[in-house]
C-alpha cells in the first residue's frame, strides 16, 4: 500500500469538462500577476504553493535529450547553477511585473549588476553611469570592474547633453543608472537618459531596486535591461539576499555599431545567441555565459522566499509610500533637522519630476540632516528604539544609518562632499509600522 497521491490526470474526481486553473497571466492586472505569475501545474500532488526544489541536478529523459539540452535546442533543466524550478517561478513573476521578456535570479543585487554588465562589457571596454548611485555599486565599479579591465566614468548632470557626449567613448558599451538613487532620493529622469543611450546606440541598464515595478517600469521609459537587489522591496522581509536581471528584449544587438561578441559572435559555424534566441538573446547570454560561468546561483530556498514576498509587493509599497511622505513632511518641520532630501516635498529640486514619474511618492528610502554634525547623528542613532540602526533597505521594518561612517566611509572627503554625504546626514528606510509610532520614535531620538 502506498501513501503517495496519484497524478491529477489519474484522479477520478477530476471530470473531463473541468476548466482547471489559469497559468497564462498575460493581460491580468499587476496585483493579480504579483500573486500568480510564474506558477506551474504540479501534477504530482496538486500542491497550491510552488514547492522548494532542493536539487543540484536533473535527470535526462534520454541520450538525445541530454544532447539537445546542452546544445540549447531543448528547454529542459541541466544544473541548478543555471536554473532551478523555484527560481523559475520568481523569474517569470518579476519578468511579468517589469514587462520584460525573461528574468534571471542570482545570489545578490551586486551579483545582478555584475552579471548584467559583464555580459555587455569586457576587458578594454567602458561604461558610463549617472553619478548618484548606491555606494556599493560605485565600489564595485572602482575596485572589481577596474581589475577586470572595465572602466567607468560618471555624468553629474544628466540634463547636460554636452557632458554625456564628452564622457561617452567609442568603447563605451552601456549606460547605467538608478530610478531612485540611494541615499539622496535625487530621482533620475530615466526617459531622458534612455534618449541619450539611443542617440549613441548603446544599451541602457537601470537599477529599479528602490522604486520597484510597482512605482515605475523602466522598459516603458526606454530602458533595455533592468536589475534589482531583490533582497529589498521585491522580497520585502529582510530574510534572504537575492538579485534579479530582466531583459527588455528591445535592444538590437546584431545591428549595433559597437561589438557585443558574447551575444552576436558565432563560433564553430553555429548560429550566434542573437540569431538563435532573438528577443531573449541578452538573457540567454547572461545566464549561460556569465551566471553559469561565475556561479552566483540563487538557492532554491531563497528563491521561494523571493516569490512569496512578491505576492504582497503592492500592499507593502502603499504603506511604505504613505508613511514616507508623512514622515518626510514631519521631519522638514522639526527644529533639529536642517534639511530633508525627499523629491516628493515642495522645494526639492526634483519635485516636478517626482510629480511626473511618481505622483509625488518618490520611494521610501531618503535622507535628512540632523543638527550637530557627526556627533548629532550619533546621538540620534543611539536613541532610536523602534527604528533599527542597521544596514539594508526595503524591509517591512524601518531602518536608519549614518552613510559617512558606514556605506561611504571608504570614499574620499572630496567625493563625499560632491555627493552630499555630510557629517549629519542620516539615511532612513521607512517600513510599514504605524506611522505615529515611527514619528514618536524619531521625535524622542531627535530630542528638543
**Which has the minimum average pLDDT: 167-176, 264-273, 342-351, 370-379?**
264-273
Q: For residues 357 and 216, is the Cβ–Cβ distance under 8 A?
A: yes
pLDDT at 435 over 60: yes
pLDDT band at 15 (very low <50, low <70, confident <90, very high): low
pLDDT at 295 over 70: yes
Q: In what order do the strands lie in the sheet with 337-341?
A: 337-341, 365-370, 425-429, 399-401, 388-389
**Which has the minimum average pLDDT: 16-20, 125-129, 320-324?**
16-20
pLDDT band at 448 (very low <50, low <70, confident <90, very high): low
pLDDT for 16 equals 67
Provide the grid cell at 257.
555599431
pLDDT at 419 over 90: yes
Percentage of the residues of the chain whose pLDDT score is greater than 70: 96
In this prediction, residues 332-338 reach a mean pLDDT of 97
In this prediction, residues 330-347 reach a mean pLDDT of 97
Q: Which residues are within 8 A (CB) of 40 and not within 5 positions of it... i.e. 6 or more apart? A: 23, 50, 85, 88, 89
Q: For residues 16 and 295, is the Cβ–Cβ distance under 8 A?
A: no
| Bridge partner list, 155 | 130
pLDDT for 147 equals 97
Q: For residues 241 and 108, is the Cβ–Cβ distance under 8 A?
A: yes
pLDDT at 290 over 60: yes
Percentage of the residues of the chain whose pLDDT score is greater than 90: 88
Candidates 267, 243, 290, 254; CA nearest to 119 is 290
d(CA 274, CA 292) in angstroms, rounded, equals 18
Q: Collapse the DSSP code of 341 into the 3-class scheme (helix H, G, I; strand E, B; otherwise coil) and give the result.
A: strand
pLDDT at 7 over 70: no
* Strand-strand pairing, 204-207 and 225-228: parallel
pLDDT for 11 equals 52
Q: Where are the beta strands (DSSP E) in 320-432?
A: 337-341, 365-370, 388-389, 399-401, 425-429
Residue recorded with cell 514587462: 99
d(CA 116, CA 230) in angstroms, rounded, equals 14
pLDDT for 143 equals 97
In this prediction, residues 121-129 reach a mean pLDDT of 98
Candidates 248, 301, 244; CA nearest to 104 is 244
Provide the phi-psi class of 153: left if phi over 0, else alpha when psi is between -120 and 50, else beta: beta
pLDDT for 280 equals 96
Residue recorded with cell 505622483: 359
d(CA 43, CA 59) in angstroms, rounded, equals 18
pLDDT for 6 equals 43
Q: ∠ at Cα 371 (344, 445), nearest 5°?
A: 85
Candidates 396, 404, 393; CA nearest to 428 is 393
In this prediction, residues 225-234 reach a mean pLDDT of 98
Q: ∠ at Cα 172 (167, 174), nearest 5°?
A: 105
Mean pLDDT of the chain: 94
* Consecutive H or E run containing 339: strand 337-341
pTM, entire model: 0.94
pLDDT at 3 over 50: no
pLDDT at 241 over 60: yes
In this prediction, residues 176-189 reach a mean pLDDT of 97
pLDDT at 426 over 90: yes
User: Widest CA span of the chain, in angstroms?
Assistant: 77
d(CA 201, CA 205) in angstroms, rounded, equals 13
- Identify the DSSP state of 356: H
In this prediction, residues 19-47 reach a mean pLDDT of 89
In this prediction, residues 183-193 reach a mean pLDDT of 97
pLDDT band at 340 (very low <50, low <70, confident <90, very high): very high
Domain ranges of the chain: 63-310, 313-446
pLDDT at 159 over 60: yes
In this prediction, residues 37-62 reach a mean pLDDT of 89
Q: How many CA atoms lie within 13 A of 41 on its CB side?
A: 9
pLDDT for 20 equals 78
pLDDT at 168 over 60: yes
pLDDT for 23 equals 85
Q: Where are the beta strands (DSSP E) in 71-156?
A: 102-106, 126-130, 151-155
pLDDT at 203 over 80: yes
pLDDT at 194 over 90: yes
Q: For residues 247 and 100, is the Cβ–Cβ distance under 8 A?
A: yes
Q: Collapse the DSSP code of 313 into the 3-class scheme (helix H, G, I; strand E, B; otherwise coil) and give the result.
A: helix
Convert the pLDDT of each residue in 57-90 to its tens digit: 999 999 999 999 998 888 899 999 999 999 999 9
- Identify the DSSP state of 1: -
Class in CATH terms, 63-310: alpha beta
Class in CATH terms, 313-446: alpha beta
Distances (CA, A) of 410 to 53, 176, 416: 40, 22, 9
Q: For residues 231 and 90, is the Cβ–Cβ distance under 8 A?
A: no
pLDDT band at 311 (very low <50, low <70, confident <90, very high): very high
User: Could you tell me which residue, 212 or 51, shows the higher pLDDT?
Assistant: 212
Q: For residues 304 and 348, is the Cβ–Cβ distance under 8 A?
A: no
Convert the pLDDT of each residue in 142-158 to its tens digit: 999 999 999 999 999 99
d(CA 196, CA 188) in angstroms, rounded, equals 13
Candidates 145, 211, 143, 215; CA nearest to 179 is 211
Candidates 400, 274, 265; CA nearest to 327 is 400
pLDDT band at 41 (very low <50, low <70, confident <90, very high): confident
Q: For residues 448 and 338, is the Cβ–Cβ distance under 8 A?
A: no
| Bridge partner list, 204 | 175
Amino acid at each position: 500500500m502506498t501513501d503517495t497521491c496519484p497524478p491529477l490526470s489519474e484522479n477520478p474526481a477530476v471530470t473531463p469538462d473541468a476548466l482547471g486553473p489559469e497559468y497564462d497571466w498575460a493581460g491580468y492586472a499587476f496585483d493579480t500577476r504579483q500573486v500568480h505569475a510564474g506558477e506551474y501545474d504540479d501534477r504530482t500532488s496538486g500542491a497550491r504553493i510552488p514547492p522548494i526544489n532542493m536539487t543540484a541536478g536533473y535527470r535526462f529523459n534520454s541520450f538525445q535529450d541530454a544532447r539537445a539540452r546542452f546544445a540549447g535546442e531543448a528547454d529542459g533543466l541541466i544544473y541548478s547553477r543555471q536554473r532551478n524550478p523555484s527560481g523559475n517561478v520568481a523569474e517569470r513573476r518579476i519578468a511579468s511585473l517589469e514587462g520584460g521578456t525573461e528574468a534571471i535570479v542570482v545570489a545578490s543585487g551586486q551579483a545582478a549588476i555584475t552579471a548584467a554588465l559583464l555580459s555587455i562589457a569586457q576587458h578594454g571596454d567602458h561604461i558610463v553611469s549617472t553619478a548618484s548611485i548606491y555606494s556599493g555599486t560605485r565600489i564595485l565599479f572602482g575596485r572589481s570592474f577596474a581589475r577586470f579591465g572595465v572602466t567607468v566614468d560618471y555624468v553629474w548632470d544628466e540634463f547636460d547633453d554636452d557632458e554625456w557626449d564628452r564622457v561617452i567613448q567609442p568603447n563605451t558599451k552601456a549606460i547605467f543608472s538608478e530610478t531612485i538613487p540611494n541615499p539622496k532620493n535625487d530621482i533620475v529622469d530615466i526617459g531622458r537618459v534612455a534618449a541619450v543611450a539611443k542617440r549613441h546606440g548603446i544599451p541602457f541598464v537601470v537599477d529599479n531596486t528602490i522604486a520597484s515595478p510597482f512605482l515605475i517600469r523602466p522598459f516603458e521609459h526606454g530602458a533595455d535591461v533592468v536589475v534589482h537587489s531583490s533582497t529589498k522591496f521585491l522580497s520585502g522581509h529582510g530574510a534572504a539576499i537575492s538579485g534579479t536581471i530582466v531583459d527588455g528584449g528591445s535592444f538590437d544587438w546584431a545591428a549595433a555599431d559597437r561589438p557585443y561578441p558574447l551575444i552576436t559572435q558565432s563560433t564553430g559555424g553555429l548560429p550566434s545567441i542573437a540569431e538563435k534566441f532573438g528577443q531573449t538573446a541578452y538573457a540567454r547570454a547572461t545566464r549561460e555565459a556569465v551566471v553559469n560561468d561565475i556561479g552566483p546561483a540563487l538557492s532554491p530556498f531563497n528563491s521561494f522566499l523571493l516569490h512569496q514576498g512578491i505576492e504582497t509587493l503592492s500592499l507593502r509599497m502603499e504603506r511604505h509610500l504613505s508613511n514616507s511622505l508623512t514622515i518626510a513632511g514631519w521631519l522638514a518641520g522639526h527644529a533639529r533637522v536642517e534639511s530633508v532630501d525627499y523629491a516628493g516635498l515642495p522645494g526639492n529640486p526634483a519635485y516636478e519630476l517626482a510629480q511626473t514619474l511618481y505622483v509625488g511618492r518618490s520611494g521610501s528610502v531618503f535622507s535628512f540632516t540632523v543638527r550637530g554634525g557627526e556627533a548629532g547623528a550619533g546621538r540620534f542613532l543611539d536613541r532610536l528604539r523602534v527604528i533599527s540602526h542597521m544596514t539594508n533597505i526595503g524591509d517591512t521594518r524601518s531602518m536608519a544609518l549614518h552613510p559617512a561612517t558606514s556605506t561611504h566611509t571608504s570614499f574620499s572627503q572630496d567625493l563625499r562632499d560632491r555627493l552630499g554625504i555630510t557629517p549629519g546626514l542620516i539615511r532612513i528606510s521607512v517600513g510599514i509600522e504605524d506611522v505615529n509610532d515611527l514619528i514618536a520614535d524619531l521625535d524622542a531620538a531627535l530630542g528638543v
